[in-house]
Chains A and B, each alone.
Chain A
């Protein structure tokens, strides 16, 4: 039976799993050294949407009661022994991640920019080459819009930098191709989350959507050295 890995924590962290389940699979903890993983048997006959929703619900419930590092959706290992072996092998990196996000939540500011300034067509206006030129112009316009979204995200980061532990910027896809977007993710102490959100709210205009606090998903991969050092220093 494969097992889904849902979260990583310290073995010393309080962990109350009573009544919690991943779809219909009971949660359990396996440990190795100073780390523990919250896992569940991989459920049978479920849609991806159901599993993704369950993954988030379990992590949000765990994060509300304890310090955890959330796993990316789809982390599946062969059995409990494989989880223990992975924890033991990756102990150093995982300990850094757990330390980085301890006591923290994440806020997200999604910046959206309309894709405009399409390059005017040149040369022939019909046929395959014209289509390809139009596509290329579209891609250049999207990249320019993404660049503006990233720049706006960085301005938001600068405005709240003294109050956050770390930050990251991601290009993201919107439902419409006419919109380019970037997520600015802010790692903040739980105590500061409301304050930082209020500050961001003051800065946000119609092109910025704020959400959170979320479990700190965006800070569970290696950060830039400088950023990570700041996060670890708290």
Chain B
């Protein structure tokens, strides 16, 4: 394939960084039980489909469902 003819965007620039931040939350998700760690420090065990994509997401995952729904955009 001719991938080099279609370079993907450099994520520099304040607007583009915002887009990349959102994109990073949209990739393939691992289902099942997994261990979340940042810098090799285990944060929590989760089941089902919850996965850490940012500190905000981890905080949201720790909150009761009703509270998450209340603050969801």
Contacts and interface: CB of A to CB of B under 8 A. Distances in A.
Interface of A: 1-2, 5, 8, 42-46, 48, 51-53, 55-57, 59-60, 63-67, 69-78, 82, 86, 89-90, 94, 97, 103, 105-106, 108, 110, 170-173, 175, 183, 190, 193, 209, 211-215, 217-218, 220-221
A75 B34 CA distance: 9
A214 B24 contact: no
B73 A173 contact: yes
Interface in B28-49: 28-32, 34-40
Contacts of B57: 74
Contacts of B32: 86, 89
Interface in B17-70: 18-32, 34-40, 51-55, 57
A52 B27 contact: no
Contact of B54 (A48, A53, A170): A48
Nearest to B25: A72
B37 A2 contact: yes
12 contacts: A43-B39, A44-B39, A52-B21, A56-B23, A57-B11, A76-B37, A170-B26, A213-B6, A214-B23, A215-B23, A217-B26, A220-B27
A74 B53 contact: yes
B24 A72 contact: yes
Contacts of A57: 11
B52 to A, nearest CB: 4
A1 B40 CA distance: 8
B30 to A, nearest CB: 5
